[in-house]
């Protein structure tokens, strides 16, 4: 196994997630695209952890922290989407333009 095959997979998934964040209009699907980006970062971290054979397992532990933060982020994100839906009757991010210049 080479290291670049893992990093290329991580980069490809990160780019796909970026495309989703930029193009999706439904707020829940924007959050799902962010999850793909975080998952790509996890692949990167774990692959480099195995590559470096770190005795402290720093890469894997940071992947665990990323997972915990992603869970917290989804919880807060869904709560915000729910509140926006309650006030505006829509989960479309294009309609949230109150702060636009």
Partner 1 sequence: MTIGDWLTEAANWVFLFLAVPTFVASLMVVSSKNVVRAVLYLVIALGGSAALFLMLGSEFVGWTIVLVYIGAVIILFLIGIMITRAPLTKSVDLSHPISARAPAALLSVLLFGVMAWAVVQSFGLETIPFPDEATSTGEIGVSIFTLWVVPFEVMSFVLLAALIGGIALARRDEAPAERQP
Q: Which is nearer to partner 1, 53 or 99 (CB)?
A: 53
* Per-position b or e across 56-78, b if 16+ CB within 10 A of its CB: eeebeebbeebeeebeeebeebe
Residue with tokens 């933060």: 69
């Amino acid at each position: 196994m080479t290291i670049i095959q893992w990093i290329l997979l991580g980069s490809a998934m990160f780019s796909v997630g970026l495309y989703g964040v930029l193009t999706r209009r439904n707020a829940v699907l924007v959050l799902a695209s962010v999850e793909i980006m975080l998952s790509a970062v996890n692949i990167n971290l774990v692959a480099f952890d195995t590559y470096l054979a770190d005795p402290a397992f720093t890469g894997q532990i940071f992947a665990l922290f990323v997972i915990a933060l992603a869970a917290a982020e989804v919880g807060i994100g869904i709560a915000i989407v729910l509140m926006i839906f309650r006030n505006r009757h829509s989960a479309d991010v294009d309609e949230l333009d109150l702060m636009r210049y």
